[in-house]
Structure 1
Amino acid sequence: MRFTLSSTALNAKLQTLSKVISNKNSLPILESFLFEVSNGQVFITSSDSENVMKTALSLDEFDSDGAFAVPCRTILDAMKELPEQPVTFEVNLQTYEVIVGYQGGEYRFTAQNAEEYPRTEQQTNDLNVVTVDASVLVDNINRTMFATDNNEIRPVMNGIYFDLTPDYLAFVASDGHKLVRCRYYGIKSETPASFILPKKPATLLKNGLGRDGGDVVIKFNKQAAEIHFADGVLTCRLIEGVFPNYNAAIPTDNPNQIHIDRKALISAIRRVLPFASMSSQLVRFRLSAGMLELSSEDIDFATSAKEQLICDYGGQSMQIGFRGDFLLEILNAMETEDVTVELGDPSRAGVVLPGTQPENTDVLMLIMPLLLND
């Protein structure tokens, strides 16, 4: 079997697919890419047994169909050093000897039998289908990923919750200290459905999808999802369980509102945070008319910092504490020049909203306060 394709196109696909492969595989064959040549295309697959990504490349030339598996490190090392040029694969499907020819040289290595590569069964039972624009999906994964948890006791918090309702599709993530809820009103369903996407496939989608990648079709049931996009398909196991009632955690009557420049607030937090206690990362907010004072201190090392910012605030004078590193994550996940922070009292969660909401979208982020010892 012989076929020819672009070196840089192949390398780009392999780099994306390599993110699927785990360092600890249950089957040795999963340390390889599966190559399948058919109808003028080569389909390349990588898997870690729970996540399977498959993509396709058009061939410049080919003489027959066939399949083989190539050790991922071998082919990655071979392709990454080549400049753009046609590369020709010659594969003996009896001995699995592979010769990769390029301008001025060749690589030789041994492939493996494609029959040993595990196949993924297509999901057919109780399938729900939702179609999302690639840019919408990438944007909302970027907004929510940082708020996911790493907790073995509550595995349902370890992914992004997709909540399809008659009014919107919500993307939700929370670790119990912070929460992100993004409602996208361009997608709705008369039949409510939901699933929890683990972080690894979410990261694969974020890195593998272009913002102009067209529609992404997600077919899912309670156990797994099959995600079709322009360049291929990702099949993944979902997190099973019931996601907490996230709407119940969001206060609806925080009357004290701060309107402030986002980058100025980020810079001020970064300046005072190094002087906070390493264990609590506490940054104290002191609010008065038109003024926000940020302060931190570490009693054990006798360090402290204080900074004042002008803001638009007309609520009651109050003090409230937040983890500075968590608040920075929230502010960095937003894109607008200014933000609104809605506060109730020192024991109630603060709600952070972008100054201008994205088109057809409602973004809300929440952070739990820390106890102040006055």
Structure 2
Amino acid sequence: MNGQITVSRNELLNKLTAVGKVVSNKSLIPCHDNFLFEINDGVLSVTGADREGNITKTIECVSQSMENCKFQIEHKIMLDGLKVLPEQPLIIDVEIKGSSGNATLKHESGIYRIPVISNDDFSVIQQKAGETIRPITLESHVLVDGIKKVIGFAGHDELRPIMNSVLMESKEGKLTFTSTNSNMMGIYEVFNTDLDDFNIVLPLKFGKIISELADGIDTIELQIGSRNLTAMFGDTKIVYRLIEGNYPNFRAVIPRDNDKEVKADVKSFNGALKRTSIFANKSSLLVSLSISDQNLTVSGKDDDFQMSAQEQMSVEYSSTELIEIGFKSEFLLQCLNAIDTPEVRITMRESNTAALISPVYDEGDEYHSLTILIMPMMIAV
């Protein structure tokens, strides 16, 4: 079979870069090292895949003798070749004999030949025929913001894949996104939605990909199957296998009786933490917070090297009782970096119980909320 495709170099590179986000550097399935090209009715579809899911994007093209044709090209060679070409109409001549052949890329100053594979062994995840599908349509910024707010708090434990995920739950008009590890947990809630109730566990890779590709899109359609999730927006279709199992009851560990509240300027607090953490023990990264009389003292020390640092700042404190509590500076800084308001609220009860961190929202901005749980560290006497 011989044929020809004419397509914009920039368009093709942009689409392949997007679908290439799912391609692993060392795939266990040989065909997943390739891009799948399919041509139907003058539209070129390009697909990248791994064992857990796949992304497809479409491009308008001019084709000759290539209808209902599909072939594979090694993804790294294709991407690297396109990156060094200038923008111009790109002519791709495809010659296939049996299960293999060549694709010749022609532009104004050169010709490049790439091997192609023509067979049906490119495996993809897809919804089963006749499977009951639950369609959900929502504004993409809600999905993107929800994933981005919490995905950094997810675990990376191969033995507990359910923790390497983002829980997305809709219940009684409230949409909740949650990720957690053994040290921190992020909970982002959007109120007064008109979504039906559902509960799905998104793999981390899917969450990262969709939060990048769907950013700036108006709406997104989700199709929830028994084992897979399909997301469709613009010229993009993503199908990914859901993580099986029950997500832990995260609400059971959220403290309800934290009676000491601190409000602090995020920028000042962040700066004090960064500076004092330089002098903290390099193994524990422990910093201590001492709060009393509208004053916060941030301390870090390393007795092994006789180093220490201490900074003070004014805060709003709801209690007259002194509290001293320790945190791993790396984790506390990550929590502060998730706060997108000028002020941060921290609630605590004791030095050995979980603290809650949240933004201080302006009036009228209560349609959503972010709560971060962080476990304390023991302060050596």
Relative to the length of structure 1, the TM-score reads 0.94
| Superposition deviation, residue 255 in structure 1 | 1.9
How much has 1:301 moved relative to structure 2? 2.0
Q: Does 1:255 align with 2:259?
A: yes
AA partner of residue 79 (structure 2): L
Bigger drift between 141-150 and 227-236 goes to: 227-236
The CA deviation at 1:360 is 2.4
Counterpart residue number, 2:12: 10
Matches within 5 A, 1:13-24: 13-24=15-26
Q: Out of 351, 372, 375, which is 1:365 matched to?
A: 372
**Alignment partner for residue 229 of structure 1, among 222, 226, 233?**
233
Question: Is the Cα–Cα contact under 8 Å of residues 30 and 47 in structure 1 kept in the other structure?
Answer: yes
**Secondary structure of 2:182's aligned partner:** coil
1:201 matched residue in structure 2: 206
Structure 2: which amino acid aligns with 1:93? I
Pick one of 164, 169, 174 that aligns with 2:175.
169
347 and 37 in structure 1: CA distance in 2 versus 1, 3 angstrom threshold: same
Extract structure 1 runs of 4+ deviating beyond 6 A: none
Counterparts of 1:201 and 1:339 in 2: how far apart (Å)?
Answer: 30
Q: 1:148 aligns with which of 151, 154, 159?
A: 154
SS at match of 2:274: helix
Q: Aligned match of 1:75 in 75, 78, 85?
A: 78
Shift of 1:279: 2.4
Alignment partner, residue 56 of structure 1: 58
1:126 deviates by 4.1
Alignment partners' CA distance in 1, 2:145 and 2:131: 30
Q: Secondary structure at the match of 1:93?
A: strand
Q: CA deviation at 1:130?
A: 2.3
User: Is residue 179 of structure 2 the alignment partner of residue 136 of structure 1?
Assistant: no
What secondary structure is seen at the aligned counterpart in 2 of 1:236?
Answer: strand
Is 1:340 aligned with 2:345? yes
Match of 1:271 among 275, 279, 282: 275
Aligned equivalents of 2:366 and 2:234: distance in 1?
Answer: 23
SS, match of residue 83 in structure 1: coil
Distance 1:317 1:168 in 2: 37
Cα distance between partner residues in 2 of 1:87 and 1:64: 16
Cα distance in 2 for partners of 1:82, 1:135 equals: 34
How far apart in 2 are the matches of 1:195 and 1:341?
A: 30
Q: Deviations over 1:190-234 (max 9, x none)?
A: 5x32111111111111222222x1212122234221111223111
Offset, 1:16: 1.9
For 2:380, give the aligned amino acid.
N
Equivalent residue number for residue 126 of structure 2? 121
Q: Is 1:85 aligned to residue 49 of structure 2?
A: no
Which residue in the other structure is 1:214 paired with?
218
Q: Does 1:242 align with 2:246?
A: yes
Unpaired segments of 5 or more residues in structure 1? none
Deviates most, 351-360 or 70-79:
351-360
Quote the sequence identity (%). Answer: 27
Instruction: Tell me if the contact between 1:16 and 1:207 (Cα under 8 Å) persists in the aligned partners.
Output: no
Alpha-carbon RMSD: 1.8
Residue 49 of structure 1, CA deviation:
2.1
Contact in 2 for aligned 1:88/1:102 (Cα 8 Å): yes
Cα distance in structure 2, aligned partners of 1:304 and 1:58: 62
Question: Deviations for 1:87-143, whole angstroms, at most 9, x for unmatched residues?
Answer: 111112336221111122221122111422124332453433322322222212111
Q: SS where residue 344 of structure 2 aligns?
A: strand
Cα deviation digits, residues 293-351 of structure 1 (max 9, x gap): 00011222221111111112231221111111111111112211111111112122111
Q: Do residues 31 (structure 1) and 17 (structure 2) align?
A: no
Listed one character per residue, the Cα deviations across residues 142-200 of structure 1 (whole Å, up to 9, x for unaligned) are: 1111100012333211100011212211100000211111111253545x321111111
Q: Which residue of 2 aligns with 1:179?
A: 185
Q: Residue 129 of structure 1 contacts residue 220 of structure 1 at CA under 8 Å; is this kept in 2?
A: yes
Give the Cα–Cα distance (whole angstroms) in 2 for the partners of residues 338 and 62 of structure 1: 61
TM-score (norm 2): 0.92
| Unpaired runs of at least 5, structure 2 | none
Partner of 1:96: 101
